[in-house]
């Protein structure tokens, strides 16, 4: 690991100032991706800005027809939250399948979304549930937030502060884990909220998480697994690696989407 | 170098550290608590699992400086003097270890499972909760048995304590 | 049987330190004034080293020294060696290329160490290692063993044209070909035995220390055989004379073969400690383990089995290309030869066997023994052939096996080995009962109702363990004897230390060896200590691998105990004033036969040292005896494993739903520990079959270089196992032990693949049978069936 300076600001404003003025700074949230990356010398920030002392960045609350989750809320807190379990069980289950129990005690929702790993679970939740990502500067709809592999709409000194999930009528997430890393080889989140149907896929897209409009349109007609029969996602443009070819991933998207719809509808 | 203070196994400790010092390095090199091990660089093997403020984490994936004021518990602090923790006993009774290298992390993870999931653990729960702990020796069979037994023993121990308190 | 004797389930004595965090592994050792080493490793699979510029690195903070292969050459250090000579068919010796501890002219695999930085702290060493400028001329590389001998392939070592190390054969080609000519049926298979990374959870580590006052070196090292390490470093590397080199293997966190070998890093740590005048510590990161620990397996095989009209095997022939990697590791040459082809008879009476093996260099990490070493590869060939043949011949796979089992012992196979004892029918029968083989069809129907494919697979394996009769091993090319030694030291108070040349890195010797002593001497197991892993303390030893420590290591203790008892009887005869021949030793007491006059063990021990009751002319004082035990034959553990899987055809995911293992390990010393060995072995075998594969791309880059991509078995990848035993005593050692450490890893892969192929109705699947591979095989099978309709 390269040497760095650690800052521990007590407010978002301070953190944003530090981020703006230091040349090569990175935010440290749960650190479960950043620290291993630094250990392997694949990242070399000159300074780290630890967000853990900032009050008010963590917590889960039900606000009207939305669940609002602070950016520094740990995966385990989301998974174990009675509020989430009761109102948005798909999200609790998704959070409970990230990494492993120890990683879930550290990793945060804000960190995961800002990192936008193409195989991470939370991007599927944000996009599949039509979440709004709130930063120190603005609100960004999930549809606008994920701009490519490890790329987001976040500006240079922008910090995610919370994530708002509108409550769907039905939702489910089905994940097929990469056997080695346990990231999603493919994960599909399906939700229905009023007239809006979303099918978001993580793990498979060369540019990160994406929606499957063909599936969404079919599910508009009738929200059931049979509606997806005969439909598939083209393999072209999907990720292909030692763990799964593009063809296999394309096939899994169909299988998992049907299973997610069945789970959500049931 | 910045200073950090925390409580480790009930004892307050303070030291100046290079910011890149991971908790596991702080424990092993600064405090010479070498029961916490390092088996990988990708936060997967779980040989380094310790408890921070009562929750299991991978001590290879957190900086010591982040733990200012934290309460850290390692394998060395689990037994009560000469009296082993029920989970330690269960690992011995059920032959839940061979080379012993993954064992400290395994036992700390096991105690955490019980803390979260209770004393009556089925095999499926234990196996899926061990997602973050690799063992190359035992084939997990006896670890699963040990954790189920240790969980029960922790439960009966708690019952006894409670009874005594009543 | 006593409560702590042979056959008793005794809780492990060593566990106390491991469960309390007081284990003492090499990485836990810290020496006063120690420095830290970081290796500069080649990022290229094959590259000429045109120059190394360490100027910038040397000026980095905390740097003590930057050393390269040129410095090694200045100090005239010898090469790492392979200690087992194999001759090709044409009589020529194997082509062993030079293997310097730091590459000197070129790097031959990704991770090949080319320089080392020694610094005050590890962080400083790493920072400086990045500043070492190596001028590489990148050369074409070859990683695929099947391509290594082809005309256009990169040439790695001058001594080995076409990258061929040897072209070896075993068996009678003419007779075997003739048997195939007249066969009624021939089953053919192409098999890739996937390359594995051992991945003991404790990474390798070494600390070298040189005492300039005495000229003594000390090496703390993660090794399974400290004396062998000392011997090689002294005799071949030439760094220190054997009597001035102490190798200490403290607690070692798993080995599985990978810690047998003598590696560059420990040699460099030791050498550098003299160069810099301070202790040098190196601990591998997992990334380095992937790039430097010897890998396992990596065979490409075509195999055929011939049957007569009655379903009797009349011949087996196999042609294998074995990848030995970039250099010949310590015992690599023996693995795809004498530990492989000699097992191709399996449990069957096969009159004709012929096997050819070409060993090749590739630009990959060296390959050497990994749990099972050659025997898993052989078992996979035999048990896949038998299973596929059964399907082709429409004979129940269990029945076809029974029809061909060996029943008479001793049995001389056509491939060197003489099996001494076994009852293969008994283990098969018991395994089928425990697995409810009869109820399988019903379970398969139930799975089908849930949309799942269910399959069952058998693996009736045999292995040759208890390595090995030294004379036989020597005649086959071994550079060392494979006996074991023990010293039994009885203290005046009657407690006992046993110094053993075996090494425990998870096997539980501190308990099982103590059980033997406790039973034999009638003393409490707590009064027995097992001492191992330090060349300054233990007389000598060949270490632990090849399931040898029970059969060979404990036999040495038995021999030493025999001598102790004989001497103790002499002492007792003086105490009891009786003839030595009249003294009977039983239950910890020495009794004059036919009388009630006796003395307890403790009195005899004390009197052996006080020496008040006998004169020095009659008897030497003291009670301490040493034995070197050389086995008279290999041992032949065997058994039958049954794997039952359920496959989700939509995703290709395989779940192992039942596992039954019935093994014949001869006499069991501690059933609890034996079962643990079986569980662990099976899981490594399941890892090979379903999850693990070291993948190199065409440029020789290791694609699966961390746990993120190399899939280790986790708790939810395996079920709880049903484990049973049958017992035929091993006739060739005093305890009747056969050995149990490798059986699971040997048996499991074939059982899993036989179950999967049974479930999906296609033989076209390679290991590891990942979900994608299984799904693809199902699709292919469906397409073929559709085309046929």
The domain limits of chain B are 3-77, 86-165
Look up the CATH number of the domain holding residue A36: 3.30.43.10
Interface test with A, best of C650, C688, C766 (most A CBs within 10 A): C650
pLDDT tens digits, one per residue of A30-39: 999 999 999 9
Chain B, residues 110-149, CB within 8 A of chain C, namely 123, 126-128, 130-131, 133-145
Per-residue pLDDT band at B158 (split at 50, 70, 90)? low
Question: Residue A110 falls within a domain, yes or no?
Answer: no
Q: Give the model's pLDDT for residue B161.
A: 46
Asked if A242 and C707 come within 8 Å (Cβ–Cβ), the reply is: no
Q: What's the complex ipTM?
A: 0.97
Cβ pair A101:B113 closer than 8 A: yes
Flag if C651 and A252 touch (Cβ within 8 Å): yes
Residues spanned by the domain of A38? 5-50
Residue-wise pLDDT for A184-237, tens only, equals 999 999 999 999 999 999 999 999 999 999 999 999 999 999 999 999 999 999
Q: Residue A85, SS3?
A: helix
Q: Which of C40, C194, C652, C771 would best serve as a mutation to test chain A binding (most A beta carbons within 10 A)?
A: C771
Q: Is A145 among the domain residues?
A: no
Tell me which residue of C707, C691, C653 sits closest to C767, measured CA to CA. Answer: C691
> Which CA distances in Å does C160 have to B126, C156, C280, C357, C361?
52, 8, 35, 16, 8
* CATH of span B86-165: 1.10.150.120
Residue B3, classed as helix, strand or coil, is: strand
The pLDDT of A177-184, averaged and rounded, is 96
Return the structure tokens found at B138.
């035992």
Continuous H helices in chain B:
23-25, 86-93, 103-117, 123-129, 141-165
Identify any residues that bridge with C112 across adjacent strands, giving them in sequence order. none
Q: Scanning every residue of chain C, which has its alpha carbon at the shortest distance from the alpha carbon of B125?
A: C716
Q: Which domains does chain C have, with CATH numbers?
A: 18-139+199-292 (3.90.1170.50), 369-464+633-788 (3.30.365.10), 483-629 (3.30.365.10)
Tens of pLDDT, residues B61-100: 999 999 999 999 999 999 999 999 999 999 999 999 999 9
Burial C485-517, CB ≥16 within 10 A → b, else e = bbbbbbbeebbbbbbbbbbbbbbbbbbbbbbbb
**A226 contact partners, CB below 8 Å, separation of at least 6:** none
Give CA C332 to chain center in angstroms: 11
Output the average pLDDT for chain B. 94
Mean pLDDT, residues A85-92 taken together: 98
- Is the Cβ pair B142, C679 closer than 8 Å? yes
Q: In which residue ranges of chain C is pLDDT below 50?
A: none
Give the fold, CATH level 3, of B3-77.
Answer: Ubiquitin-like (UB roll) (3.10.20)
Cα dihedral A22, A27, A33, A34 in deg (nearest 10): 30
Token pair 């950090």 is at which residue?
Answer: B4
d(CA C81, CA C98): 8
Is the N-terminal amide bond of C721 cis, ω within 30° of 0?
A: no
CA distance B131 to chain C (A): 7
Contact B19 A48 (CB under 8 A): yes
Does the beta-carbon distance from A180 to C707 stay under 8 Å?
yes
**A contact chains, 3+ CB pairs < 8 A:** B, C
d(CA C512, CA C507): 9
- Domain assignment of residue A43, yes or no: yes
* A265, part of any domain: yes
Using CA coordinates, name the residue in chain C closest to A253.
C651
Query: How far apart (Å, rounded) are the C-alpha atoms in residues C551 and C631?
Result: 8
- Tell me the shortest Cα–Cα distance from C677 to chain B, in angstroms: 7
User: With a threshold of 0.90, does the pTM exceed it?
Assistant: yes
Q: What is the pLDDT of residues A45-79, one digit of tens each?
A: 999 999 999 999 999 999 999 999 999 999 999 99
Residues of chain A found within 8 Å of residue C703, distances taken between Cβ atoms? 242
Edge to edge, the sheet with strand C164-171 lists: C164-171, C353-361, C313-325, C299-307, C185-193
Tell me how many domains chain A contains.
2
Residue A201 lies in a domain: yes
pLDDT at residue B157, rounded to an integer: 67
Given a contact as 3+ CB pairs under 8 Å, which chains touch C? A, B
A132 pLDDT exceeds 90? yes
- Look at residue A211 and tell me if it is in a domain: yes
Angle at C46 between CA C43 and CA C48, to 5 degrees: 95
What pLDDT, on the 0 to 100 scale, is given for residue B160? 47
């Amino acid at each position: 690991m390269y040497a760095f300076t650690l800052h521990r600001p007590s407010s978002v404003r301070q953190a944003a100032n530090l981020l703006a003025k230091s040349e090569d700074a990175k935010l440290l949230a749960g650190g479960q991706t950043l620290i291993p990356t630094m250990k392997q010398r694949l990242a070399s920030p000159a300074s780290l800005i630890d967000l853990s002392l900032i009050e008010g960045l963590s917590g889960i609350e039900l606000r009207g027809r939305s669940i609002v989750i602070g950016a520094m809320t740990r995966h385990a807190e989301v998974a174990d939250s009675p509020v989430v379990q009761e109102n948005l069980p798909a999200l609790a289950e998704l959070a409970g399948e990230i990494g492993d129990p120890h990683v879930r005690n550290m990793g945060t929702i804000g960190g995961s979304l800002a990192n936008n790993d193409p195989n991470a679970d939370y991007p599927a939740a944000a996009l599949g549930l039509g979440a709004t990502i709130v930063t120190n500067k603005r609100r960004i709809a999930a549809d606008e937030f994920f701009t490519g592999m490890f790329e987001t709409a976040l500006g240079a000194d922008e910090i995610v502060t919370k994530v708002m999930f509108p409550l769907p009528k039905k939702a489910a997430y089905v994940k097929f884990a990469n056997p080695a890393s346990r990231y999603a080889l493919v994960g599909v989140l399906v939700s229905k909220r009023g007239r809006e149907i979303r099918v978001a896929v993580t793990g498979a897209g060369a540019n990160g998480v994406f929606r499957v409009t063909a599936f969404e349109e079919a599910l508009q007609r009738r929200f059931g697994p049979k509606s997806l029969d005969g439909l598939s996602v083209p393999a072209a443009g999907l990720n292909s690696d030692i763990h799964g070819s593009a063809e296999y991933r394309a096939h899994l998207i169909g299988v998992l989407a049907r299973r997610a719809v069945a789970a959500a509808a049931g | 170098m910045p200073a950090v203070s925390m409580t480790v196994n009930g004892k307050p400790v303070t030291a100046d550290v290079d910011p890149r010092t991971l908790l596991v390095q702080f424990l092993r090199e600064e405090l010479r608590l070498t029961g916490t091990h390092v088996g990988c660089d990708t936060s997967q093997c779980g040989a380094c699992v310790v408890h921070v403020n009562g929750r299991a984490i991978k001590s290879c994936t957190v900086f010591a400086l982040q733990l200012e004021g934290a309460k850290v518990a390692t394998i060395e602090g689990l037994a009560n003097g000469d009296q082993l923790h029920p989970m330690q006993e269960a690992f011995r009774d059920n032959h839940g270890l061979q080379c012993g290298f993954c064992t400290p992390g395994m036992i700390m993870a096991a105690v955490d499972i019980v803390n979260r999931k209770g004393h009556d653990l089925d095999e499926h729960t234990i196996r899926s909760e061990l997602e973050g702990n690799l063992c190359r020796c035992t084939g997990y069979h006896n670890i699963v048995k040990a954790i189920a037994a240790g969980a029960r023993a922790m439960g009966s121990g708690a019952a006894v304590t409670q009874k005594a308190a009543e | 049987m006593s409560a702590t004797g042979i056959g008793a389930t005794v809780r492990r004595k060593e566990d106390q330190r491991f469960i309390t965090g007081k284990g003492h592994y090499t990485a836990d050792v810290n020496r006063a004034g120690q420095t830290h080493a970081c290796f500069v490793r080649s990022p290229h699979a094959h590259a000429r080293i045109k120059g190394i510029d360490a100027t910038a690195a040397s000026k980095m903070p905390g740097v003590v020294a930057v050393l390269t292969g040129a410095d090694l050459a200045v100090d005239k250090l010898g090469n790492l060696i392979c200690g087992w000579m194999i001759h090709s068919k044409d009589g020529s010796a194997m082509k062993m290329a030079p293997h310097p501890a730091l590459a000197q002219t070129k790097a031959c695999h990704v991770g090949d160490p080319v320089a080392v930085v020694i610094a005050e702290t590890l962080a400083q060493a790493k920072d400086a290692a990045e500043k070492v400028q190596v001028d590489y001329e990148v050369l074409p590389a070859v990683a695929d063993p099947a391509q290594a001998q082809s005309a256009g392939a990169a040439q790695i070592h001058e001594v080995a044209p076409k990258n061929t190390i040897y072209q070896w054969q075993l068996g009678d080609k003419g007779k075997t070909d003739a048997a195939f000519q007249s066969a009624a049926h021939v089953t053919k298979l192409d098999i890739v035995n996937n390359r594995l990374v051992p991945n003991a959870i404790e990474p390798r580590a070494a600390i070298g220390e040189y005492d300039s006052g005495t000229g003594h070196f000390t090496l703390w090292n993660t090794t399974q055989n400290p004396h062998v390490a000392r011997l090689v470093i002294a005799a071949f590397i030439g760094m220190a004379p054997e009597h001035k080199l102490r190798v200490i293997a403290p607690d070692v966190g798993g080995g599985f073969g990978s810690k047998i070998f003598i590696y560059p890093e420990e040699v460099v740590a030791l050498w550098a400690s003299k160069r810099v005048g301070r202790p040098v510590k190196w601990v591998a990161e997992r990334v380095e383990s992937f790039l430097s620990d010897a890998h396992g397996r990596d065979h490409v095989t075509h195999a055929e089995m011939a049957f007569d009209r009655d379903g009797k095997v009349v011949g087996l022939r196999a042609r294998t290309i074995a990848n030995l990697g970039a250099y010949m590791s310590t015992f690599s040459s023996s693995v795809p030869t004498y530990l492989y082809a000699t097992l191709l008879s399996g449990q069957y009476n096969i009159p004709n066997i012929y096997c050819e093996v070409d060993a090749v260099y590739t630009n990959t990490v060296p390959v050497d023994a990994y749990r099972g070493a050659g025997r898993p590869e052989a078992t996979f060939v035999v048990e896949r052939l038998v299973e596929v043949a059964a399907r082709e011949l429409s004979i129940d796979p269990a029945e076809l096996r029974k029809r061909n089992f060996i029943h008479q012992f001793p049995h001389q196979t056509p491939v060197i080995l003489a099996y001494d004892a076994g009852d293969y029918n008994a283990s098969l029968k018991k395994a089928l009962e425990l697995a409810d083989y009869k109820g399988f069809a019903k379970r398969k129907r139930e799975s089908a109702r849930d949309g799942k494919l269910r399959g069952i697979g058998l693996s009736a394996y045999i292995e040759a363990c208890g390595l090995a009769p030294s004379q036989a091993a020597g005649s086959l090319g071994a550079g060392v004897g494979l006996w074991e030694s023990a010293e039994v030291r009885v203290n005046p108070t009657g407690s006992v230390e046993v110094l053993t040349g075996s090494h425990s890195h998870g096997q539980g010797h501190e308990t099982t060896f103590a059980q033997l002593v406790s039973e034999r001497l009638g003393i409490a197991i707590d009064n027995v200590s097992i001492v191992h892993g330090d060349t300054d303390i233990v007389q000598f030893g060949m270490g632990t691998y090849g399931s040898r420590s029970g059969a060979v290591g404990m036999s040495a203790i038995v021999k030493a105990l025999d001598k102790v008892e004989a001497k103790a009887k002499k002492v007792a005869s003086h105490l009891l004033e009786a003839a030595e021949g009249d003294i009977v030793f039983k239950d910890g007491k020495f009794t004059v036969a036919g009388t009630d006059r006796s003395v307890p063990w403790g009195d005899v021990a004390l009197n052996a040292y006080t020496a008040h009751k006998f004169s020095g002319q009659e008897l030497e004082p003291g009670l301490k005896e040493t034995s070197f035990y050389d086995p008279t034959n290999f041992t032949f553990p065997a058994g039958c494993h049954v794997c039952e899987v359920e496959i989700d055809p939509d995703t290709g995911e395989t779940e192992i739903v039942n596992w039954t293992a019935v093994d014949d390990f001869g006499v069991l010393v501690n059933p609890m520990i034996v079962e643990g060995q079986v569980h662990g072995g099976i899981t490594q075998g399941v890892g090979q079959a379903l999850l693990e594969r070291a993948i190199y791309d065409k440029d020789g880059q290791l694609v699966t270089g961390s746990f993120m991509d190399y899939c280790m078995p986790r708790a939810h990848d395996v079920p709880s196992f049903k484990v049973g035993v049958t017992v035929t005593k091993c006739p060739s050692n005093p305890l009747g032990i056969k050995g149990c450490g490798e059986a699971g890893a040997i048996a499991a892969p074939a059982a899993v693949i036989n179950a999967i192929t049974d479930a999906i109705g296609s033989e076209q699947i390679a290991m590891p049978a990942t979900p994608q591979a299984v799904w693809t095989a199902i699709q292919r099978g469906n397409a073929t069936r559709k085309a046929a309709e």
